[in-house]
Amino acid sequence: MSKHPEYQKWAELASKQMKGKAVDKLDWMTPEGINVKPLYTAEDLEGMESANTLPGMAPYVRGPMATMYAGRPWTIRQYAGFSTAKESNAFYHKALAAGQKGLSVAFDLATHRGYDSDHPRVAGDIGKAGVAIDSVEDMKILFDGIPLDKMSVSMTMNGAVIPILAGYIVAAEEQGVSHDQLSGTIQNDILKEYLTRNTYIYPPGPSMRIISDIMEFCSTTMPKYNTISISGYHMMEAGANSVLQTAFTLADGVEYVKAALKSGMDIDTFAPRLSFFFGIGMNFFMDISMLRAARFLWYRLMSQFNPKNPKSSMLRTHCQTSGWSLTEQDPYNNVIRTTMEAMTAVLGGTQSLHTNSFDEAIGLPTDFSARIARNTQIIVQEESQICHVIDPLGGSYYVESLTDSIISEAQKIIDEIEELGGMAKAIETGMPKMRIEESAARKQALIDQGLDVIVGVNKYKLEDEKIDFDVREVPGTVRDEQVARLKEIKATRDQTAVEKALADLTAAAQNDGNLLEAALPAVRARATVGEISDAMESVFGRFVATTRCISGAYSSEYKGDSGAIDEIKKRTTTFLEKQGRRPRLLVTKMGQDGHDRGFKIVASAYADLGFDVDISPMFQTPEEAAKMAIENDVHVVGASSLAAGHKSLIPALIEELKKAGGEEILVVAGGVIPPGDYDFLFDSGVKAVFGPGTPIPESAGKTLTLLEEKYLG
């Protein structure tokens, strides 16, 4: 009970207004396991180390800069890239003219995974979820007319980070821009790829070496360039709550610091160039407090390395609003969601921000939707007067208490990771990935029950919904254009010079040469992204993850009325009794998209509902998925789609099933699929399509109905 002199009077008044209920009945337990009271007072801050601090001063809870936005507002960025370099360049010029302050480049999935556009494994991925880059010639077109000595460029790249960063450097050289003039950030955060996003190429050991080599090269030749953006965003999108995002992101950061120190670098040489990247969801105060807690914890964690430069202990961060929180249903609600999340990031003290477009639950942003997303930031920055006061929520009883709670809970997880031997060792045990997937499954169960409200999805639903805006679609001709450019480059370059440069890169990989430095001659000679990646893969190999699904997390969150899942369990048992086996489902993710939240949740939940579930490895081709479905003798394949490849990959899967004698196997589809494409998929042979926001009991029930009609009459 609070010691506030008027507390008892308040409690009596509140109890009377609640018709006699105790005040503690208003307490709320967050998904992070933090108990939130209905009232906070000054006494809640007593003895709190993170409270009563000042901006720009250790431990930086209130911001890394003394003046924060009163001195300089956050940088407005727009993460964008699609189709060809020429198309993306035109988009960038429009965005910069409309008030965007920095570039943030999205690459397509083939590029992320180190494949050239003519590789057969990536036929359905070219230009779909980012811009296709095959060589420095594409990179030069991407930045045509954009002065790289003046423009800060952020590039989200991890797997193929060596050829992409080298391509950016050489494109700048050929603009006449020296290395020391370049500013921006390369994400270069490979550990989180093994946890969530999965756009890795090499095993963890060689990947950590690549990070150290980039830090070493850039610290001496590119002092204005941030060599790593340690990312929690993709953990949040995969299902991590705010405490998990904080703990795992900072633990990744510590692992990178240790790797750099092990390579012989001085802490103050590279640590000031480290930056972070946090995801912002719809829990307004929680995520504000998360950013404040992360700054405190990073300062404390860095203290063990005894840096002399204060900047080595400052956490500077980019933020992005959530893509997962966007809904296909009643999509204009997403403008409001993004605005709230933008305010969260700003009140939490971000250094730069990307706001998602309202239509990204359906497809890539259009010029129209991107303008709204960009103007969201501009309006907050220019019209709200929020930039005049530094950390306006500093001293809030609730925010300071929540900050302290996140610090405490995240530190427990960080300590647990240290006991396992650090984040790389923890990843090998599977602990972080399992925690994130459990969190995602529990969240989905709460949504499906309506206990977590999503307006337009599980409450206040429209009876008759129609998509009344354009959806961007990348034409299939993009791959043809890229392949033609590749042929032209290979026909006109000095092949002897290319082969020598690639051989030198392989030798550097075999020995201890700096890989970024060794890649630059290959890029200048017009070696491709795929060739450079292959030159290192010949030494390091290509990493293949083990795909598993968890059990029990989804069903355990059903409280009270479990009628919907009980009915499905009863039906799966009836199917077993009549058919001699349970309904069997293969959940697969084809193409190079590594986001696995959706299909992992579906696999786990269907298993809890009584299905026998097989889950495919990531990055399957349609042929591989069909082969696995037939060998496992499944009744139905559930194809998960996120990256706009559904119109090529899913019909190809159906054709491969027919060719291999599996025409009896049903195919259903789910994920980010525009409603306008449903008829195309039905005409191709898909039996059901489950868009974003479809409750799992509903999709499972419809899938069961299809199987019952086919097998039980």
Question: Which member of 60, 69, 79, 225 is catalytic?
Answer: 79
Cis? peptide before 622, omega within 30° of 0: no
Cα gap 299→261, rounded to integer Å: 17
**Regions of the chain with pLDDT less than 50:** none
User: Residue 561: what pLDDT?
Assistant: 61
As a whole number of angstroms, the distance between CA 651 and CA 643 comes to 15
* Active-site choice (233, 299, 554, 606): 233
Spatial separation of the C-alpha atoms in residues 442 and 430, rounded to whole Å: 18
Both structure tokens of 301: 């964690």
Q: Which residue has the tokens 């050489």?
A: 170
User: Helix crossing, 431-449 with 597-608: angle to 10°?
Assistant: 70
**Could you write out the DSSP letters of every residue in 391-460?**
STTTT-HHHHHHHHHHHHHHHHHHHHHHHTTSHHHHHHHTHHHHHHHHHHHHHHHHHHHTSS--BTTTBS
For residue 70, give the amino acid letter.
A
DSSP state of 590: B
Q: Which of 112, 128, 433, 595 is catalytic?
A: 595
Residue 595 among the catalytic residues:
yes
Cα–Cα–Cα angle for 586, 587, 593, rounded to 5 degrees: 140
The dihedral built from the CA positions of residue 288, 290, 291 and 296, taken in this order, carries a sign that is positive
**In terms of DSSP bridges, do strands 184-186 and 153-156 run parallel, antiparallel, or are they unpaired?**
parallel
Asked whether the beta carbons of 98 and 371 are under 8 A apart, the reply is: yes
**The predicted structure's pLDDT at residue 500:** 98
Question: Per-residue DSSP letters for 450-511?
Answer: TSS--BTTTBS--SS----S--B---THHHHHHHHHHHHHHHHS-HHHHHHHHHHHHHHHHT
Q: Which of 234, 354, 433, 646 is catalytic?
A: 234
Distances (CA, A) of 110 to 120, 327, 540, 665: 10, 27, 19, 29
CA angle 617, 618, 620 (to 5 degrees): 85
Give me the percent of the chain exceeding a pLDDT of 70: 98
pLDDT score recorded for residue 81: 63
Q: Helices (DSSP H) in 541-663: which residue ranges?
A: 553-556, 563-579, 597-608, 622-631, 646-659
How much is the pLDDT for 80?
67
Strand partners, 80: 105
pLDDT of the residue at 369: 92
d(CA 656, CA 470): 32
CA 480, 657, 645, 362 dihedral sign is: positive
Residue whose C-alpha is closest to residue 74's, from 263, 348, 301, 470: 348
Place of tokens 């984040």: 423
In the chain, the amino acid numbered 288 is I
Spatial separation of the C-alpha atoms in residues 189 and 211, rounded to whole Å: 8
Residue 701 has a pLDDT of 95
Q: pTM here?
A: 0.86
CA distance 637 to 646: 14
Helix/strand/coil for 618? coil
pLDDT at 556: 76
Tell me, yes or no, if 233 is annotated catalytic.
yes
pLDDT for 560: 58
pLDDT by residue (tens digit) across 406-418? 999 999 999 999 9
The reply to whether 589 belongs to the active site is yes
- Let me know if 262 is a catalytic residue: no
The token pair at 45 is: 């801050």
The H or E element containing residue 527 is none
pLDDT of residue 1: 64
Per-position DSSP letters for 343-410, written without gaps between them: HHHHHHT-SEEE---TTTTTSBPPHHHHHHHHHHHHHHHHHS-GGGSSSTTTT-HHHHHHHHHHHHHH
pLDDT digits (tens, 9 = 90+) for 504-523: 999 999 999 999 999 999 99
Q: Which of 600, 543, 594, 597 is nearest to 109 (CA)?
A: 594
Which listed residue (134, 593, 596, 608) is catalytic? 593
- CA distances to 60, 139, 287, 405, 495 from 294, in Å: 9, 35, 10, 12, 49
Q: What single-letter DSSP state applies at residue 198?
A: -
